[in-house]
Amino acid sequence: MEARVDKAQETLMRDRGGRCAIAVMAKAPAAGRMKTRLSPVLDPEEARDLGCCFLKDMTGNLAAAAREVPLDPYVAFAPAGSEAALNSTVEAGTGFVLADGSAAAPPGVEGLGRCLLQAAGTLLELGYGAVGLLNSDSPTLPTSYLVQAVRRLLEPGERAMLGSATDGGYYFIGMKQAHANLFCAIDWSTAEVARQTRRRADEIGLELVDLAAWYDVDDVASLRRLLDDLAGKPRAACDPSRYPAPTTAAWLREQRIGVRLAEQDAGGARPAQAASAP
């Protein structure tokens, strides 16, 4: 029986060699710890609920891309044991992998870098030919960007891929090996992240292929941009094929977030009202 199991595992890993795993980096939902820069437009419970909507749409977007390319969607989660709290907020068929920074990492890989490296290493150990790590804050990211990333990563030859965010960070990083140097000595949560990551790739002679830039939603200005995108308002920097983010769009309508922002602009802002979970 054990030999039969080992054979099945070998076959599974061999099959994964021609596939890419992409994991959305996510923490268990908690009021007061998610989307705090959206205050006072959103109260802590609303910010948590919006974050859950984002995660549902991000994993839904991965499922859409998986219908076009050999892609397996995951959530890279923290803390340990929080899968149950996340399970109801992700698309069916999404896998889970721990990314709490507890795995050993080389000197200089700290903070978020430890979590990213842990997620990449774990997925590659499962036998995938390539892995991608995706933020949880870009619900309208065009599916075509994910499709392009998977196709490019699975082509012969060594490379990494970077999808820069408009704030200087990145929304996506993909690789075929767990290159710790890509996460070493990075000033996380600053406008230097993408630039420093490119420098780390240059230091090890790693080709870094760029995806088109996109934005993440972490403050009121980017929330306004999200509302514009979902309303179909044109923006020079936005791809018209952006993902419709149906869960997020419905929640924003139900909570009248656009109306509340307009009232705020007109000087008639009122306190955010608590919302039920999505």
Question: What's the pLDDT score for residue 239?
Answer: 62
The strand ranges marked E within 94-138 are: 95-98, 130-134
* CA dihedral sign, ordered 45, 170, 128, 117: negative
Question: What's the pLDDT score for residue 84?
Answer: 87
- pLDDT tens profile 6-42: 665 666 677 899 999 999 999 999 887 888 889 888 9
How far apart (Å, rounded) are the C-alpha atoms in residues 228 and 32? Answer: 26
Query: Residue 124: enclosing H or E segment and its boundaries?
Result: helix 112-125
- pLDDT tens profile 206-249: 999 999 999 999 999 999 999 999 988 766 455 668 999 999 99
For residue 274, is pLDDT > 60? no
DSSP state of 189: T
Residue 268: which pLDDT band, with cuts at 50, 70 and 90? low
What's the CATH number for 12-265? Answer: 3.90.550.10
Q: For residue 131, which of 194, 196, 198, 76 has the smallest C-alpha distance?
A: 76
Give the other-Cβ count within 10 Å of 209's Cβ. 16
Question: What's the pLDDT score for residue 235?
Answer: 62
Mean pLDDT of the chain: 90
CA angle 269, 270, 272 (to 5 degrees): 120
Question: What's the pLDDT score for residue 271?
Answer: 47
For residue 2, is pLDDT > 90? no
Secondary structure class of 200 (helix, strand, coil): helix
Question: What's the pLDDT score for residue 178?
Answer: 97
The residues pairing with 130 across neighbouring beta strands, listed in sequence order, are: 20
Question: What's the pLDDT score for residue 11?
Answer: 67
All residues at 6 or more sequence positions from 179 whose CB lies less than 8 Å from its CB, including other chains:
160, 201, 204, 206
The residues pairing with 131 across neighbouring beta strands, listed in sequence order, are: 21, 175
How far apart (Å, rounded) are the C-alpha atoms in residues 254 and 194? Answer: 35
pTM of the model: 0.90
Question: What's the pLDDT score for residue 278?
Answer: 28
Phi, psi of 257 (to 5 degrees): -65, -40
- pLDDT tens profile 250-261: 999 999 999 999
Phi, psi of 254 (to 5 degrees): -60, -35
Residue 24 CA, chain-centre distance (Å), reads 4
